[in-house]
Every structure is written in structure tokens, then in C-alpha cells.
A and B are shown apart, each in its own frame.
Chain A
């Protein structure tokens, strides 16, 4: 428990540092981001918007840096991340909350699926070396060395296109109103199939290879021989003794990969024009949309930190050796 609290305190400190950096970077940048934005969008900004940008970047000059910093935290606690520039006058928090479900839905589910399938295959391949599962490895290793986005491009070129059942872009059929009905959900699933398959195929084999190699390492441990000598069933030795120990490094890897759900698959979302956070970030970068970028970075920071904390907790639960002062 003490260990967890220590970790939690550490992550809180990291969060504070990340947010503070997030605050200072635009302010120490040479030049003036607001005026460059204004000049790029002549006539399209209301004076309110300019003012809000100035407030956001601390350019309303009446405040000291310290007061700005305090104000920034106050805004943050109210969930106010400023106005998005690309989607003006939508607030950044709203832009993110609209795109986040898409990313979490697509990448989250595929990350979990690829971990589960890959790990299960790895257990099989490592336990029965030379079996048909093991012979899949060269193929999956090849696929994992292919970048996500390239696989996505190939998938679009081969499978999507005029007359194909697979849509090549977007998160749902244009014209549908987002709602919890079967038209919309069916369309969303249909649109997510290709990107999901792309991510699944290229990320699964990493888990499989890792799990397989750990299984092979663990299988030569003395306690596995002891388990066999005890006359335990093959299933019990494979799962409760071998896989249970081989899983440990993979689990922390998995928890960390959860942190990259939000920002990690930018390229897939770009290739498929998927309305997720990554695609939003891409658009934000193109339009010099600092508030949006800052907001998305904040979300990514938080999710990476939460994933780290999850990894700590998972390790604590799974490996008794980490529970020092239990």
C-alpha cells in the first residue's frame, strides 16, 4: 500500500510537471503565436476569440506570469481548455470529448483484443514448440514489421473502393445522425473493421512473440520440472505454473500500451480519416491550432500516467515479489 501511495505521489508530481511545461512552452516560444494565428486567419476571428487566445497564451499583458499560471490552473479545473482554432468556436474540451470515444472505441478494443489473442497464441506456441501455432511465427513477425499505416494503405487499395463493402474513410456513413440505434452502430462497426484489422494484425504478433519467448524461458525453470514431477496435469503446469510466470513482463507492456491508445495510432486514423483524437491532432497541427494541441497533449499525458499507474497495480497484484512491505 505504501508503495502504491509513493507511486501515486510520483505520478501526481509528473502530472504537475507536464501541465506546467504545457503552460510555459507557448510563453517562452520566440515570436507571438496569437498574432501569427491572427494574420493567418484574417477577418475570420472575432475580437472575443482574439481575446480568448490572448488570455490563453498570457498575452493580455496585464497579468504577471504567476497570476497567469494560477489562472491557467483555475481554468483547467473547470475543464476549460480554451477555444479550438480549427473548429472555432467550439471549445477544445468539446472537440476532444467528441473524438475521444472514437479512438478509445477503435484502438482500445483492438489493443485489448490483440493482447488477448496474441498472448493466448504465444502460450500455445511456447508450450508446444514446433506445433502449428509455432510455425505461424515467421508470418506474424513479418506482419508486425510492416508499419500500421502502410498496412492500412494496402488494405484500402485492395479491399476498399467503389463498390466495395468496406468504406475507405470516416467513422460512419455521412448523413447518419449519431445515435444509439442499429443503423448508426452498424455503420460505425462497418467503418471500424478495416482500421481495426490493420491494428490487430500488426500489433498482435508482438504480444505473441513476447509471450512465446517468455514461455520458452520459463519452461526450463526448475519449478516447471518440479510441477511435472509432482504429476500435475499438463494443463495446470502450462497455465498455473508456466503461463502465470511468463505473463508478468507482457502485462506491464500491456498496461503501458493502454497509455498509447489515445495518441499512438495517429497514422492509422489519418490513413482512414477516422474521426478520433489522432486525426484531430493531425488537423490541429496543420492549422497551428495550439489550444487543441495543448489539450490533446494533456489528455495523452494523463492517459500515459494512468496507464503507468495501472501497470504498477497489475504488477503488484500478479507478482508477490514486488509486494515488499505488504
Chain B
């Protein structure tokens, strides 16, 4: 399922996100670089508190205070025109960029819809905000089309959020995310609150929609096995940094970082032979006091001398040949440059 993808859509470069200012700041995301190509599905995996969602909020400039992007750039390449840095957009430009270019489906399927407005109102106000000259009839037609797209009956337009099931609400959110045909849809644990059957159903629908409409997806989840099936490329985050990035199949077959391996062994595979689930001992690091060196070393079964003192660089490991992949681990040293 790997496609040849060359044209970048969103380039995240050296992004740092802090909560708070000065010395008290908690460094939630550190030096993250990640490129999403046109039409690609990129998975972002990691435990709770690894900085996945913070990264998503940072990239879309939706960080709740006191979160701030303290360094880096997020370069967006529009279909036509010059690329620009999302972080430098003015308030007005940002509003135009949002939803039209990058939309988001949040993890809170239950609370993402405003309880006092009908589904139709919430689908249509997004369209109206970006296409103020559109007629009400055309917006209504588009709202109907969106619901059809995600497999919900048209008459549900008149429903209030509390009259829909969790799965339906999340499908409404996906439909809403596609309202303006964005280039990129960020999915922040979109199926975590749903049962497994509903997860599969919604993800299947998502894959189909993506094939049809051709948008890129940044899929954030802690469920690595899910990503292996649905994404082209996977980035693994730990303690605010990307520790490994590789094509899905490569991660699944041969995880280089011990943390990726641990994550992979924490979930049952969706297909294939059964294997024992082991999990990762210990708990995620406290972001206020990160371990020195590689932040994973206190939990790492394979840690050795340099791990506790020196930070490994993310790069193409010297011992690797073949399709491009990067890892930050002393087991696979990277020659700088």
C-alpha cells in the first residue's frame, strides 16, 4: 500500500511546544520534524503524555493557554501558490486557513458538538464562515451531501447532538471535517471513545473517503496496531520527541527503537498470528523532570552506557540499507551529517 509520495503538504520543522513560560515551562514537544506528503496517511503513535495531541494543537495553533509554540515552523504548501508558515499567519489569515486547508477530528467524540444547536447548523456555519456569499440552500445541500458521505440519513440534519449515538456523532464530525474539502485532516484519537466494532467501521469508511477525495491524514493514536494497517508511514513519539519514523510495514516487521517494539507488543495484532502481549514496564516520564540522555533509558531493557548521558540524534541509522527510515537510539547510531 506504500505509494510514491514526493510532494510535501505540511512540513513541521524543529517544533518546540512549552506549557508555561521561562524556567517553569514544561517542555511537552521537543525538536519535532515531520513531513506529511500529499495524499499520505501519517500515523503518530505514543503513550498518553508523549506529546502527540500537543503536537497536533501546536501545528493548528489551537493550544490552550498556557501552551506556546516556542520554536520551529509549520510550512504549508497550498495546491496553488507559495508555501507559507502557518505559525506566522495573522489572526484573520489563520481563520481563513483553518478548516479550509487543515481540519481536525478531536478525540472527544461525545463533546465535540455544541449541544444546543442542530447538526445542520453546525455543519453549515463552518461553510458560511469560509464562503460568506454562499446561499443557504447551497449550504444545506452541502450539509446533506456530507452526511450521506459518512453514511448518515439526511433527516438527522434536524437532530440535536444528544439524539445521536457516539459513533454517529463522530461520523458527523468526520463529515464536518470534510466540509470544505481540506488538504489535510488531523485525526486526534478519533475512535478512542468508541467500541471496537464501531472503530473498524469508521476507519474503514475513512480509508474509503480518503481514496475517493485524496486528502492527507495525520492520524494520532496510542494504538499502534491500528496504524500499521491504516497508515503509509508511522512516527513514534516518546517524551515529546519523535524516536522513530519509518514506513508502516517496516515498523511492524522490524522496529528499531526498543520503545516502538514495546508499543507493538502491547497490542494484539489485528491480523496474523497471535503473539504474547508484554507491554512496557514503568510509566511515561514526567515532563517536568526528563531523564538525561535518551529519555526512554530508565525503562529500556536494552539500555547501555551512552543512553543515560547522551541524547541520541534522530537520523538514518548507519546499519540500515533500503527505504528511508530514521531512529533515535544508541543501538543504531547515526553518523551526524
Contact = CB atoms under 8 A, between A and B. Distances in A.
Contacts of B148: none
A230 B129 CA distance: 8
A244 B118 CA distance: 13
B299 interface: no
Nearest to A227: B114
Interface in A201-239: 220-223, 225-233, 236
A195 B160 CA distance: 44
A321 interface: yes
Interface in B65-105: 94-100, 103-104
B114 A228 contact: no
Given A226-B106, A231-B96, A321 B115 contact: yes
A226 B95 contact: no
Nearest to A226: B112
A232 B111 contact: no
B115 A245 contact: yes
B116 A318 contact: yes
Contacts of A226: 104, 106, 112-113, 173
Given A236-B125, A319-B116, A229 B111 contact: no
Nearest to B111: A222
Contact of B160 (A221, A228, A321): A321
Contacts of B130: 231
Interface string A226-269: 11111111001000110011001000000000000000000000
B331 to A, nearest CB: 39
Nearest to A319: B116
B112 A222 contact: yes
Contact of A230 (B115, B116, B126, B162): B126
A320 B115 contact: yes
Nearest to B115: A321
B123 to A, nearest CB: 10
Contacts of B106: 222, 225-226
B100 A228 contact: no
B322 interface: no
Nearest to B103: A229
A231 B95 contact: yes
A230 B160 contact: no
A20 to B, nearest CB: 40
Nearest to B57: A225
A232 B116 contact: no
A245 B95 contact: no
B108 interface: yes
Contacts of A222: 106, 108, 111-112
B103 A232 contact: no
Contact of A229 (B99, B115, B117): B99
Nearest to A220: B64
A228 B126 contact: no
B129 A233 contact: yes
Contact of B114 (A229, A233, A245, A318): A245
Report which residue of A221, A320, A321 has the largest number of chain B beta carbons within 10 angstroms of its beta carbon: A320
A318 B129 CA distance: 24
A285 B129 CA distance: 61
B99 A221 contact: no
Given A225-B62, A245-B114, A236 B108 contact: no
B111 A320 contact: no
A320 B116 contact: yes
B184 to A, nearest CB: 12
Contact of B116 (A225, A227, A233, A245): A245
B62 A232 contact: no
Contacts of A240: 114, 117, 125
Interface of B: 60, 62, 64, 94-100, 103-104, 106, 108, 111-118, 125-126, 129-130, 160, 162, 173, 176
Interface of A: 220-223, 225-233, 236, 240-241, 244-245, 248, 318-321
25 contacts: A222-B111, A223-B111, A223-B112, A223-B113, A223-B114, A225-B64, A226-B112, A226-B113, A229-B62, A229-B104, A230-B99, A231-B94, A231-B97, A231-B98, A232-B126, A233-B95, A233-B129, A244-B114, A244-B117, A248-B116, A319-B115, A320-B160, A321-B115, A321-B160, A321-B162
Given A229-B99, A229-B103, 8 more contacts: A229-B62, A229-B104, A230-B129, A231-B98, A236-B129, A320-B115, A320-B160, A321-B160
